[in-house]
Amino acid sequence: MRKIQTGSRYEALMGYSRAVVAGGQVHVSGCSGLPAEGGIGDAATQFALAVEKLGRILAEAGATLADVARTRVYLTDPADWDALVAAHGRAFGAIRPASTMVQVARLIDPRMRVELEADAVLPS
């Protein structure tokens, strides 16, 4: 089993890995998409940034977005559902992973509108 760390202080505090590679699979922890420049962005923008982060993590594991088998999307505002469905389609439409999207009361940082988890299968 290989564990991928990004250096976030929360990885050590909480005792988790950004991703775990095991048994030919990559399990990626939740990715948020707050803009680096400090803005908040709408849900679709946050989702697109989370997908970019996911892509970087998968690359470190030896996979790509095309290897994603499952996504889980957590959204805080059901009014964002249509925008997130479209954003997920732009990112994963050709890949068509199994997917779940659920509304949650809130995410850990109140500026976060969406969080993305994914599982991928390493290419053979």
Q: Which domains does the chain have, with CATH numbers?
A: 2-121 (3.30.1330.40)
pLDDT, the chain, mean:
95
- List pLDDT tens digits, range 83-93: 999 999 999 99
Token pair listed for 56: 């970087």
Q: From residue 122, how far is each of 27, 58, 68, 112 by CA, in Å?
A: 11, 9, 9, 29
Whether the model clears a pTM of 0.85, i.e. scores above it, the answer is yes
- List pLDDT tens digits, range 39-78: 788 999 999 999 999 999 999 999 999 999 999 999 999 9
pLDDT given at position 37: 72
pLDDT given at position 57: 97
State in Å, rounded, how far the first CA of the chain is from the last one.
Answer: 17
| Half-sphere exposure at residue 110, Cβ-oriented, CA atoms within 13 angstroms | 0
